[in-house]
Amino acid sequence: MTAAPSPRHDRVAELSADQLRQRLGEAIEIYVNAMGYPPSTAQQRAPMWSAHMLRPGWRCVGAFNERDELVGIGYGYLGNSGQWWHEQVRRGLLAKHDDEAVETWLHDYFELTELHVRPDSQGGGLGEEVLRRLLDGAPGGKVLLSTPEGPTRAWRLYRRVGFQDVLRDYHFTGDPRPFAVLGRPLPLDPR
């Protein structure tokens, strides 16, 4: 039995903060569906995503289908001390490793904050295309991200493009699932 082809996407493009604001509802709906969160999560995330747009090094990439619907979204910015994710990962690294791991990973990095593809558009390489476009020219000497533990398409994508373990089985405040923090040097290797 052959798998059904993934829905087509027509373009992948960088988005300005204003362009993302105009499509924020679509983007967060993709996030909620891809992560399996309850719909009420969108109300909490919208102000957070808007605040992220103001951080140094912020950049965003969207993927659109032939009807100009957003089907994939990725964004990130330069990570820094005092940011929630940075401090969570720092705490985890200190608990499981040492100061050297903190210095190695939590310095001069681009935080890949969100990368999501609408479930009906997954499986055709769109996630990798958004990832590569987002990280092409991203600031920082390395990139870090967190993803739920488990055999997922996202997990396979990150391994395929060379991400390595930084912190495993970590529980972020507010989410009961275990997460992995993965990282790698920038730039990505060519395909």
Q: What is the pLDDT of residue 8?
A: 57
Number of other residues whose CB lies within 10 A of the CB of residue 106: 21
Measured between alpha carbons, how far is 44 from 38 in angstroms, rounded to an integer? 11
Torsion of CA 145, 151, 153, 155, to 10 degrees: 20
Read off the pTM: 0.92
Measured between alpha carbons, how far is 133 from 188 in angstroms, rounded to an integer? 10
Which burial class, exposed, middle or buried, applies to 190 when counting CB atoms under 10 A from its CB (0-12, 13-18, 19+)?
Answer: exposed
Residues catalogued as catalytic: 158
Q: What is the pLDDT of residue 75?
A: 98
Note the maximum CA span of the chain: 51
- Per-residue pLDDT tens digits of the chain, which is 191 residues long: 444 444 456 899 999 999 999 999 999 999 999 988 899 999 999 999 999 999 999 999 999 999 999 999 999 999 999 999 999 999 999 999 889 999 999 999 999 999 999 999 999 999 999 999 999 999 999 999 999 998 899 999 999 999 999 999 999 988 899 999 999 999 999 88
Measured between alpha carbons, how far is 115 from 6 in angstroms, rounded to an integer? 18
- Domains for the chain: give ranges and CATH numbers: 11-185 (3.40.630.30)
| pLDDT tens-digit series, residues 83-119 | 999 999 999 999 998 899 999 999 999 999 999 999 9
Which burial class, exposed, middle or buried, applies to 186 when counting CB atoms under 10 A from its CB (0-12, 13-18, 19+)?
Answer: middle
Q: What is the pLDDT of residue 191?
A: 81
Phi-psi label, residue 82: left if phi above 0, alpha if psi -120 to 50, beta otherwise: left
Measured between alpha carbons, how far is 31 from 167 in angstroms, rounded to an integer? 23
